[in-house]
Amino acid sequence: QVQLQESGPGLVKPSENLSLTCTVSGGSISGYYWSWIRQPPGKGLEWIGFISYTGSTNYNPSLKSRVSISVDTSKNEFSLRLSSVTAADTAVYYCVRNSRLLPATFFDYWGQGTLVTVSS
């Protein structure tokens, strides 16, 4: 059974960078695409972007200028970096596994999520 676990700081100061890592266990990161999705408190889900195990990426246009997703197949993990954060970036961040390629992509395995609060 594939399991995903997010890790990283729960508190980030405004204008700084948010960095999270997702460790995949119970299966290989190779052969799949992996996404980050976030959910602000009391709001809906927002897809941030995805990366393939080979390193190709696709980002949400609304966040593209501030987002970078990387992968480390040797550690079976992938990471999110969001720059110049504001309070609007406060959310629960989920790492997920993509099933199927675009445009038929859906998300079949989810991490438990980690709350990141942007505040001074």
Partner 1 sequence: QSVLTQPPSVSGAPGQRVTISCTGSSSNIGAGYDVHWYQQLPGTAPKLLIHVTNNRPSGVPDRFSGSKSGTSASLAITGLQADDEAEYHCQAYDSRLGGLVFGGGTKLTVL
Q: Does 113 bind partner 1 (CB under 8 A)?
A: yes
Task: Tell me whether residue 58 or residue 68 sits nearer to partner 1 (CB atom).
Answer: 58
Residues 57-86 that bind partner 1 (CB under 8 A): 58-61
Q: Which amino acid appears at position 103 of this protein? A: P
CA–CA separation, 119 vs 97, rounded Å? 29
Residues 20-49 that bind partner 1 (CB under 8 A): 35, 43-47, 49
CB atoms within 10 A of CB 39: 15
Task: Tell me whether residue 11 or residue 45 sits nearer to partner 1 (CB atom).
Answer: 45
CB atoms within 10 A of CB 48: 22
Strand-strand pairing, 18-25 and 77-82? antiparallel
Residues that bind partner 1 (CB under 8 A): 35, 43-47, 49, 58-61, 94, 99, 102-108, 110-113
